[in-house]
A = this chain, B = another copy of it.
Amino acid sequence: MNNQEALTAYTAAFVNELVLTGVCDVVVSPGSRSTPMAMMMAEHPNMKVHILVDERSAGFFALGMAKSIKRPVALLCTSGTAGANYYPAVIEASYSRIPLIVLTADRPHELREVGAPQAIDQLHLYGHHVKAFYEMPIPEKEKSVIRHARMTCARAVSTACTHPLGPVHLNFPFREPLIPQLDNEDLFKNEERNEKYVQIETGNWTLNHSQFEALATKLVENRNGIIICGLMDEEGFEEGIIDLAAKLNFPILADPLSQLRSGEHDGQLIVDCYDNFLRNEYARNYLKPEIVLRFGAMPVSKALSNFLKENHNAIHIVVDGGSGWRDPSALATEMVFCDERLFCESVSNLVPDELVNSNCSKWTAINEIAKERMLAVKDLKDMDEGKLFSLLADIIPSNSTLFVGNSMPIRDLDSFFYFNNKSIKVMANRGANGIDGIVSSALGAAVYSKPLYLILGDLTFYHDLNGLLASKILNIDITIIIINNNGGGIFSFLPQVNHPKNFELLFGTPLDIDFQHVVKMYGGTYAKTENWDEFHSYWSHIKREKGLKVIEVPTNREKNVIEHRNLWNSVSREIENYIAGQE
């Protein structure tokens, strides 16, 4: 038996097992040490190989794709710092619960920590930020080694797909020569699997009947309640939560990432403007809840967080099928580790029909008033960030995906994107909320989620310019809206702005670059639209185009703060009048 035979059998078994467990997309970055795995993957008829040179972008690309297809995506790179470039995406995957199978090629043991080229300590490279780490054996033809490779693959994929979903890391030491034997027709035959292979069945967390009953009783007895949904993307949850809310007659405060602000339901109980009206003290006092039922990640809105802190005496139930601890303000009175869909169904069945509630109509009334005021933003003549976000629900077609950048865009989406029936899926990287990797994440998602629109700020766009290569190399269609306020817009809302001395140096950080050059380099279509007529006309124009389409909206950081504050003040006045009229 020779090395090449072992290398071939081992990598073929592993790659075949990946495909059998449902991992059919791999993002490969070129390198030498990863050659056996890369060549084997390219050889498998059911494995799709996406090649990207920059591993940081590749990591986020895989993350976005996994987010879109709700299945794990594999990553493969060579030895050395290549794998370290995945770190931001791995961490994001860990906190946003996205399954990734990270495969790093490594030097064999005799070339580690002896000054060999491109050799670094890759064991536990991602520390606690992966759900599992496996140091794989050197390829051998030995049946037990091949079987171990297959089993570890199955196990790694299963671990990645068990709640809370997340990344796993496998490190493969390979000795030279690195070329497998690919001219065998039976390369991916699967005797092992047919004979005595283990299939892994993973379940979900659930509660017993009396636990559900106790929770249902609490929700029924405290009639002044609200439901809060943060980032959530579980099959069947939408129907479940809407039924439960209807039975309880509780409003649903729906974060833009809850997937509840756009859908086929009637939206009657959806409160989507709370980020604006909860800034007002009268509204907060008027709407105090006795009980809070919360799902998903913590919502984006700081106004909502502050409102919850003020109501720290309320019963606060957090439901998490991933059994995390999503309670940044330490307000939870009950942590419920149960699949969210199962929770909604089970509790719904225990709630009597026709419950009355004193508060739901108050919430929806205030929500309507606030929304009407906020939508006045559409009358602005200037290129305004709020207006842009308020237009999204109008200009983006049904059944499309909207990927949103961090920092200001996700907050503006929260403030200005309201319920509609277009079934627009909203995505963002809200695990660690970084401005890194957004372009790549969106492009990864865009491979299977079509059409896809990305809206982000200029610093975020800059941070992942390398990501744009994917649209060119892999022929991906994407429409990108850059809100270019030439720097870090969010800081103008923070206390730092009151300290002008080094503000522009440390926080404003204007880049003063013209992105049209780089878009051109990657073969994209580009326009900077200086007014709304230009914007709309270019928007219609690019509908017919393919590939990378970029539309830049220049705005002004100072004016943006003023417009936002004007709107919030106007909402406040209106709400105060309304509440005064009710009393």
Which chain B positions have C-beta within 8 A of A49?
505-506
Could you tell me if B35 and A496 are in contact, using CB atoms closer than 8 angstroms? yes
Which chain B positions have C-beta within 8 A of A473?
511
A219 to B72, CA, bound (A): 59
Question: Provided the pairs A84-B87, A434-B82 are in contact, do residues A53 and B118 lie with their beta carbons within 8 angstroms?
Answer: no
Question: Provided the pairs A432-B120, A499-B179, A518-B521 are in contact, do residues A42 and B505 lie with their beta carbons within 8 angstroms?
Answer: yes
Q: Is A272 an interface residue (CB 8 A)?
A: no
Q: Is A1 an interface residue (CB 8 A)?
A: no
Which chain B positions have C-beta within 8 A of A463?
53-54, 466
Could you tell me if B85 and A81 are in contact, using CB atoms closer than 8 angstroms? no
Question: Provided the pairs A42-B502, A42-B506, A473-B511 are in contact, do residues A436 and B85 lie with their beta carbons within 8 angstroms?
Answer: yes
Stretch at the interface among A88-96, A477-485, A574-582: A88-96
Using CB atoms, name the residue of chain B closest to A179. B495
Using CB atoms, name the residue of chain B closest to A112. B328
Contact among B87, B328, B490 with A87 in the assembled complex (CB-CB below 8 Å): B87
Stretch at the interface among A280-288, A319-327, A345-353: A319-327
Which chain B positions have C-beta within 8 A of A522?
513
Could you tell me if B39 and A80 are in contact, using CB atoms closer than 8 angstroms? no
Which chain B positions have C-beta within 8 A of A509?
30, 51, 53
Q: Is A38 an interface residue (CB 8 A)?
A: yes
Could you tell me if A434 and B114 are in contact, using CB atoms closer than 8 angstroms? no
A543 to B463, CA, bound (A): 31
Segment 449-471 of A: residues with Cβ below 8 Å from B = 459, 462-463, 465-466, 469
Could you tell me if A436 and B81 are in contact, using CB atoms closer than 8 angstroms? yes
A53 to B473, CA, bound (A): 26
A 100-133 to B, binary, CB cutoff 8 A, 1 in contact else 0: 0000000000110111111111001101110000
Using CB atoms, name the residue of chain B closest to A107. B328
Question: Provided the pairs A53-B462, A115-B324, A496-B35 are in contact, do residues A120 and B129 lie with their beta carbons within 8 angstroms?
Answer: yes
Q: How many copies of the shown chain assemble into the complex? A: 2
Q: How far is the CB of A267 from chain B (nearest CB, A)?
A: 26
Could you tell me if B511 and A517 are in contact, using CB atoms closer than 8 angstroms? no
Using CB atoms, name the residue of chain B closest to A126. B127
A330 to B436, CA, bound (A): 41
Could you tell me if B495 and A177 are in contact, using CB atoms closer than 8 angstroms? yes
Q: Is A514 an interface residue (CB 8 A)?
A: yes
Q: How far is the CB of A136 from chain B (nearest CB, A)?
A: 19
Question: Provided the pairs A51-B506, A465-B466, A469-B511 are in contact, do residues A496 and B179 lie with their beta carbons within 8 angstroms?
Answer: yes
Could you tell me if A81 and B432 are in contact, using CB atoms closer than 8 angstroms? yes
A 31-74 to B, binary, CB cutoff 8 A, 1 in contact else 0: 01001001100110000010101111000000000000000000
Could you tell me if B56 and A85 are in contact, using CB atoms closer than 8 angstroms? yes
Which chain B positions have C-beta within 8 A of A38?
506
Q: Is A520 an interface residue (CB 8 A)?
A: yes
Could you tell me if B118 and A433 are in contact, using CB atoms closer than 8 angstroms? yes
A 514-530 to B, binary, CB cutoff 8 A, 1 in contact else 0: 11011011100000000
Which chain B positions have C-beta within 8 A of A462?
53-54, 466, 469
Q: How far is the CB of A184 from chain B (nearest CB, A)?
A: 14
- From A117, A432, A463, A488, name the one whose CB has the most chain B CB atoms within 10 angstroms: A117
Q: Is A491 an interface residue (CB 8 A)?
A: yes
Which chain B positions have C-beta within 8 A of A127?
121, 124-125, 127
Question: Provided the pairs A121-B128, A436-B85, A521-B517 are in contact, do residues A114 and B330 lie with their beta carbons within 8 angstroms?
Answer: yes
Question: Provided the pairs A84-B91, A92-B81 are in contact, do residues A434 and B118 lie with their beta carbons within 8 angstroms?
Answer: yes
A114 to B177, CA, bound (A): 48
Could you tell me if A298 and B117 are in contact, using CB atoms closer than 8 angstroms? yes
Which chain B positions have C-beta within 8 A of A134?
none
Q: Is A472 an interface residue (CB 8 A)?
A: yes
Q: Is A246 an interface residue (CB 8 A)?
A: no
A73 to B51, CA, bound (A): 35
Which chain B positions have C-beta within 8 A of A437?
81
A 177-189 to B, binary, CB cutoff 8 A, 1 in contact else 0: 1110010000000
9 contacts between A and B (CB under 8 A): A30-B507, A32-B496, A35-B507, A56-B56, A80-B433, A81-B88, A84-B88, A115-B324, A115-B325
Q: A51-B505, A82-B436 are in contact. List 17 more A-B contacts (CB 8 A).
A: A30-B459, A30-B507, A39-B496, A42-B501, A42-B505, A53-B462, A54-B436, A54-B463, A82-B434, A95-B120, A115-B324, A118-B434, A121-B129, A124-B127, A179-B498, A463-B466, A466-B466
User: Which 7 pairs show the lowest CB-CB distances between chains A and B?
Assistant: A115-B326, A116-B328, A517-B521, A81-B434, A81-B88, A42-B502, A84-B87
